[in-house]
Structure 1
Amino acid sequence: MTAIKLMLRKVSQEQIFMLSVLVVNGGNYLYNLLLGRFLGPEAFSEAALLITLLLVLSFMGMTFQLAVAKFAVLFSGKEWHIFKSNSYRRSALIGLVVGIAIILFSGQLQQLFNSQSRWMFIIFGLGIPVYFFMSVNRGTYQGRQEFNNLSITYQTEMWSRLLLTMALLLIFDVQPGVLVATGIFISFLFGLFPSDAKGVTFFNNDKLSAENSKKVNKFIILTACYELTQIIINNSDILMVKHYFEAMDAGLYASLALIGRVVYFVAWMFVMLLLPAVVQKEKDGEPTAPILFKYITYIGLLSASIVMACYFFPELIITLMFGDSYLSMSALLWQYALATSLFALSNIFAYYFLSLDHFVPVIISGVLGLSQIALVALFHDSLSSVVHVQIIAMSSLLVIQIIYFLNKEIRNKANKTQVLP
């Protein structure tokens, strides 16, 4: 017992968080795999649609989380308290607006995505304000690098969604999309534990100083734009496939996307560690590039391993995860994994620049994100065409991000040389 306690003391919060993220990603994968096997391709397309819509809306949730994470490092005292209260208030207000909009347009969403019921959109809309509120709470823990509490919030959300959704599907004979939406909604409530909202005031007129307010607004706009472009790149293909193809093909593609995106989900763990670390280094006047190189190396090695596994063992992977009914996607598995790997690598570059308040990478991602939508809209005669155009778009994005980084480094070194006597 004593040996275990000593071992736990030597484990840092960052290491605990990384282990927790692996568990959460594994649980989320298990959640999707069980849904895929339990529901079959056609019904799974409904569940995948809800999950994708959540990822689409996460651009706003992550904007709140990253903004709070950054300024938890930079602000203190009264300014931090004002900013924190304002963030909770804004998240609740925007969440209500978005949630009500989804509920009001639930019928149109049902028609747009060829869904069986509008109720799944209504229930989903009810959970959006809670989701945004939860994002601010997580941002506080992330910025203060309280990774133990941050890990717990992700664990409570993941396990409640997994267990409750499967219980609902086993007990009730109701349209699967409605039950999946209910499980997602309830999981947001569990994700609020633990909460750092103590002392937050929703009704006050306190404002940040003009300088700090300008910094916050600039970062929020920059982050929101980037998160939106990231969501477009990472999820537009599933939504467009759901629109252009039959339910069977959409379900098969959703399974392909789920397996291929394992790199992206793991890369997200490093993003959570990257942003506060880069902001702190920049604040202390220390070099930030070594942090970028470290995480690029991690993601590069991981990506190469996963792409190779998908290339050599596609049928085995698909059979183990989803079953024989999804085997028609085996030839495309490594190609989709490659597209996702390219995006994950460029994403690390983008979040690095985002931490340093650089606008150009956001514009680059936006252009490439829109080009991906245009390419899928033009070339969707088959699922393979959809995958191939994504490889082209993501290759271009990564190359441009690397060129931008190298150009910045050359300029910074030149400026330092000129300053030296």
Structure 2
Amino acid sequence: MTVFKLIAKKISPEQLFMGSVLLVNGGNYLYNLLLGRLLGPAAFADAALLITLLLVLSFLGMTFQLATAKFAVLFSDKSWEAFQQLMYRWALSFGIIIGVLFFASSKVLMNIFQTESDIMFKTFAVGVPLYFVMSVNRGKYQGNQAFHKLSVTYQTEMWSRLLLTLVLLWLVPLPPPFLVAFGIVLSFVFGLVPFNFKWKSIITTITLSEEKRKQVFKFVLLTAFYELTQIIINNSDILLVKHYFEAVDAGLYASLALIGRVVYFVAWMFVMLLLPAVVQKQKDGEATAPILFRYVGYIGILSLSIVLLCSLFPHFIINIMFGKAYMSMAPLLWKYALATSLFAISNIFAYYFLSLDKYVPVLLSGIFGLSQIGMIVFFHTSLDMVVYVQIMAMLTLLVAQLIYFLNKHM
């Protein structure tokens, strides 16, 4: 016990959170890999579609999480109480609207993505409101830098999804896509832990001043736009491949994407630490650029390492993770990892400027996200072409972000 106490004292909350995020990412990868091996390429295509929808949901939820984190630093006392109430109301209302729309359009989604049933979309829709409430909860912990509680909520969501989904697939004789969707919804319930919000406080209205309300609305709106660009850039390729290619090819591409995105998922950890730190530095009148340089350096080293590993050992990596059935994707692995790395680095710049209320990088991401969709729509003769298009789009985006940064700091 003494040894553990000494270790705990030497580990900072930030380091604890980083370790937790690495564990969560590892668990999520294990979840994806087990699904890929259990279901095979064709059936995995539907499961991967649900995982992609979960990522889309996570980006939308990030709007509420980042806004809550930012104003947790800036607001206090009654303003903070009023702000919390406002965010919970917005999150719950938005979640219900999105869930209802998703449920109502399940037949359309079934036809677009060539699935056998719409039940997996309806099941997924039920859990949407919970996810947005959970996002506000996480934003409170992030903004207050209560990283131990923030770590717990990610751990409970990940482990419950992993374990419950596997149990359902092994024991329940129902279609796998439905079981995967049901496992995802159950994980949202566990992701609410720890939850210290009292629902009755929504009834008693605490008014936020008009000036602060406008400030919040502006940030939420612009963050929502940026998260939309994240959805477009990070998920449009999988959705378009699912639409344009056969089920087996879509499943193969999904495995490639899940491996290649490891850079982005780890980079997300630094975004969680970056935003409250930058906002606090700006509030205190201190320089913020050194924080950006530190995290860009971390992501740059990580990206280079992963791209090199994917280039040198593609067959070994794919065989270990998904098996021989997915081996045809080996030549594309390092190229997809390169595209994701470029996006991860440019993403750090965008979140940095978003923290400082500078929104040109948000607009740039939107422009290049839409250009990526357009290029894939016109150039999708092969999976190779889809990957090359993304490399071009993300390289151009990173160059544009660098030019903007230099223009602001020179």
| TM superposition score normalised by structure 2 | 0.99
1:79 Cα deviation after fit: 0.5
Matched, 1:133 2:147: no
**TM alignment of 1:69-218, pairs within 5 A:** 69-198=69-198, 201-218=201-218
| Deviation >4 Å, runs of 4+ | none
Displacement of 1:217 in angstroms is 1.0
1:242 is the counterpart of 2:242: yes
What residue in structure 1 maps to residue 56 of structure 2?
56
Secondary structure of the corresponding residue to residue 127 of structure 2: helix
Distance 2:270 2:304 in 1: 17
Task: Report 1:386-405 matches (<5 A).
Answer: 386-405=386-405
Name the TM-score, length of structure 1 as normaliser: 0.96
Compute the displacement of 1:6 (Å): 1.8
How far apart are 1:208 and its partner, in Å? Answer: 1.2
Task: Name the residue aligned to 1:20.
Answer: 20
CA contact (8 A) 2:43 2:251 kept: yes
- The amino acid of 1:164's aligned partner reads L
Which residue does 2:270 correspond to in 1? 270
Q: Distance in 2 between the 1:210 and 1:46 partners?
A: 46
Q: Deviations over 1:151-176 (max 9, x none)?
A: 00000000000000000000112111
In structure 2, stretches of 5+ residues that fail to align are none
Q: 1:133 to 1:199 in 2, by over 3 A?
A: closer
Please name the residue that 1:8 is paired with.
8
Residues 1:297 and 2:259 are matched in the alignment: no
AA matched with 1:273: L
**Displacement, 1:381?**
0.3
1:2-36 CA distance string (max 9 Å, x none)? 23212211211111100000000000000000000
Equivalent position of 1:327 in the other structure: 327
| Cα deviations by residue, 1:225-253 (Å, 9 ceiling, x for unpaired) | 10100110000000000000000000000
Which SS does the other structure have where 1:201 is aligned?
Answer: helix
In 1: Cα distance, 2:7 partner to 2:117 partner: 51
AA in 2 matched with 1:103 = F
Residue 68 of structure 2 is matched in structure 1 by 68
Conserved? CA contact 1:69–1:276, under 8 Å: yes
Question: Matches of 2:113 and 2:70 in 1, distance apart?
Answer: 37
Q: Could you report, residue by residue, the CA deviation over 1:57-111 in whole angstroms, capped at 9, with x for unpaired residues?
A: 3232100000000000000000000000111111111111111111111111111
Code of the aligned partner of 1:121: F
Q: Distance in 2 between matches of 1:224 and 1:390?
A: 23
Give the structure 2 partner of residue 418 of structure 1.
none
**In the alignment, does 2:386 pair up with 1:374?**
no
Computed over aligned residues only, the root mean square deviation of the Cα atoms, in angstroms, reads 0.9
Q: Percent identity?
A: 65
How many residue pairs align between the two structures? Answer: 410
1:145 partner SS: coil
Distance in 1 of aligned mates of 2:278 and 2:196: 24
Rounded Cα–Cα distance in structure 2 between residues aligned with 1:45 and 1:336:
18
Note the C-alpha offset of 1:53. 1.1
**2:32 matched to which residue of 1?**
32
Tell me the amino acid that sits aligned with residue 78 of structure 1.
Answer: K
Whether the 8 Å contact between 2:81 and 2:206 is mirrored in structure 1 is no
Q: How far apart, in 2, do the equivalents of 1:298 and 1:75 lie?
A: 31
Task: Tell me, in whole angstroms, the C-alpha distance in 1 between the residues paired with 2:205 and 2:151.
Answer: 33
CA distances 1:272-320 after superposition (whole Å, capped 9, x unpaired) = 0000000000000000000000000000000000000000100000000
Query: What's the counterpart of residue 358 of structure 1?
Result: 358
Q: How many angstroms apart in 2 are the aligned matches of 1:114 and 1:77? A: 51
**Within 2, Cα distance between the matches of 1:305 and 1:60?**
30
SS in 2 for 1:31: helix
Are 2:85 and 2:206, in contact at CA under 8 Å, matched by a contact in 1?
no
Q: Is the 8 A contact 1:85 1:200 kept in 2?
A: no
Deviation at 1:199, TM superposition (A): 7.0
Name whichever of 103-112 and 144-153 sits farther off.
103-112
TM-fit CA distance, 1:200: 6.2
1:255-284 Cα distance to aligned partner (Å, 9 max, x none):
000000000000000000000000000000
Q: Which moved more, 1:203-212 or 1:301-310?
A: 203-212
Distance in 2, Cα, partners of 1:200 & 1:306: 48
Answer whether contact 1:62 1:227 (CA < 8 A) is retained.
Answer: yes
Quote the residue 1:417 is aligned against. Answer: none
Q: CA deviation at 1:204?
A: 3.7
SS of the aligned residue for 2:287 comes to coil
